[in-house]
């Protein structure tokens, strides 16, 4: 008992000393993110608001996919009165996958809160999460019309392939935004968002990699080929070279040129790729043009950056 007391006392002393050594400027992870009273330059505000477009998309897709309802049911204040998404519905998921997607869903709700605690934000834009929207993306990826049309809500594997389309685009945006930010609060927020978005993408890729050689019924196309085609499409739409890679790549593109398996995407140094807002708009609009809305955003994205391009269209 005496040894336990001594050990506990020593742990308390050490913990107290560590706290004394922590700089007063340290931002505790338990402190609520952001404050609109903090001095954040307009350029930071624009870069922090832009990803709300993708966070809205992810939140609605994961909420509906796992629980059959979206932000209007679970966090209506976060929508700021924006229109309900088109075509979103509960997916036919196995219990394990549903549990993971449900976790992702609530994480995305947290991301929306974190950003809006820092900047004002904007209402949820019109999102097209219909089967038809995803089917068009898959048809574009393969350069032909798949028959039957791809249905992201049909099964766990269908849904995971559809999920492959989404978080990765957002995380490359965070990688691209981070060096452009000026305020410490902005950098801390984006680093935290990037950490979780990267985790989501890693989980999705890991689950898909386990089934990489399985042929998706009824197309007879492997899961790996789906991811490769989707990545190729995003590279084509982004128009800035290779910033996207599927689950199986030529060995020269694998880590250190040693492997073909590609469970995590990265450049020649296995460092995450970066994208600009312009590249992201070209991809999520499915148009290859940041001034031409479409795809998941029929009326275009919101925020000063996106609106500037819409005004030029």
Please report the DSSP string for 29-54 in residue order: TTSPP--TTS---HHHHHHHHTTHHH
Residue 174, SS3 per DSSP:
helix
- The answer to whether 180 touches 173, Cβ cutoff 8 Å, is no
Q: What is the DSSP secondary structure assignment for residue 52, as one 8-state letter? A: H
Query: Residue 216 — φ and ψ, nearest 5°?
Result: -75, 125
Q: What is the DSSP secondary structure assignment for residue 129, as one 8-state letter? A: -
- Per the structure block, which two tokens stand in for 75? 């966090």
Angstrom distance (rounded) from CA 109 to CA 75: 8
What is the pTM (predicted TM-score) of this model?
A: 0.88
- The answer to whether 235 touches 242, Cβ cutoff 8 Å, is yes
Angstrom distance (rounded) from CA 128 to CA 22: 47
Angstrom distance (rounded) from CA 281 to CA 288: 8
Give 107-138 as a DSSP string. Answer: HHHHHHHHHHTTS---PPPP-B-SHHHHHHHH
Q: Calculate ∠ Cα 136-298-226, nearest 5°.
A: 25
Give residue 244's pLDDT.
94
Angstrom distance (rounded) from CA 292 to CA 299: 9
- Numbers of helices and strands, H then E, in the chain: 12, 2
Give residue 14's pLDDT.
39
Give residue 20's pLDDT.
40
Give residue 313's pLDDT.
58
Rg of the chain over Cα atoms, rounded to whole angstroms, equals 21
Please report the sign of the dihedral spanned by the C-alpha atoms of residue 206, residue 207, residue 208, residue 212: positive
Give 257-284 as a DSSP string. Answer: G--SB-SS---TTS------HHHHHHHH
pLDDT per residue as tens, the chain (313 positions): 434 334 434 444 334 433 344 333 333 333 345 555 568 999 999 999 999 999 999 999 999 999 999 999 999 999 999 999 999 999 999 999 999 999 999 999 999 999 999 999 999 999 999 999 999 999 999 999 999 999 999 999 999 999 999 888 999 999 999 999 999 999 999 999 999 999 999 999 999 999 999 999 999 999 999 999 999 999 999 999 999 999 999 999 999 999 999 999 999 999 999 999 999 999 999 999 999 999 999 999 999 999 999 976 5
Angstrom distance (rounded) from CA 265 to CA 171: 11
Please report the sign of the dihedral spanned by the C-alpha atoms of residue 211, residue 216, residue 217, residue 220: negative
Q: Can you state the angle between helices 184-210 and 42-49, rounded to 10 degrees? A: 20
Angstrom distance (rounded) from CA 269 to CA 298: 37
Q: Calculate ∠ Cα 105-111-113, nearest 5°.
A: 110
- The answer to whether 123 touches 49, Cβ cutoff 8 Å, is no
């Amino acid at each position: 008992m005496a040894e336990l007391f001594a050990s506990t006392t020593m742990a308390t002393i050490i913990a107290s000393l560590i706290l004394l050594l922590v700089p007063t400027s340290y931002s505790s992870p338990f402190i609520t993110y952001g404050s609109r009273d903090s001095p954040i330059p307009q350029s930071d505000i624009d870069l922090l608001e832009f990803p709300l477009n993708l966070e809205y998309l992810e939140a609605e897709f994961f909420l509906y996919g796992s629980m059959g309802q979206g932000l209007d049911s679970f966090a209506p204040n976060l929508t700021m009165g924006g229109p309900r998404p088109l075509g979103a519905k509960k997916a036919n998921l196995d219990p394990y996958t549903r549990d993971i997607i449900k976790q992702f869903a609530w994480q995305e709700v947290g991301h929306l809160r974190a950003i809006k605690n820092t900047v004002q934000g904007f209402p949820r834009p019109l999102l097209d999460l219909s089967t038809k929207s995803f089917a068009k993306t898959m048809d574009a990826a393969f350069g032909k019309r798949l028959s039957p049309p791809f249905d992201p809500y049909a099964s766990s594997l269908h849904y995971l392939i559809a999920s492959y389309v989404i978080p990765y685009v957002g995380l490359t945006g965070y990688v691209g935004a981070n060096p452009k930010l000026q305020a410490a609060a902005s950098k801390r927020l984006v680093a935290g968002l990037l950490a979780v978005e990267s985790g989501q993408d890693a989980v999705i890729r890991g689950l898909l990699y386990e089934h990489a050689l399985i042929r998706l019924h009824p197309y007879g196309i492997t899961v790996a080929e789906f991811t490769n085609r989707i990545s190729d499409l995003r590279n084509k739409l982004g128009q800035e070279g290779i910033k996207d890679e599927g689950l199986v790549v030529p060995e020269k593109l694998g880590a250190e040129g040693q492997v073909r398996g590609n469970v995590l995407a990265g450049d020649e140094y296995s460092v995450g790729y970066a994208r600009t807002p312009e590249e992201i708009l070209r991809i999520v609009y499915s148009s290859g043009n940041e001034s031409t809305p479409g795809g998941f955003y029929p009326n275009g994205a919101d925020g000063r950056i996106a609106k500037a391009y819409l005004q030029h269209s």
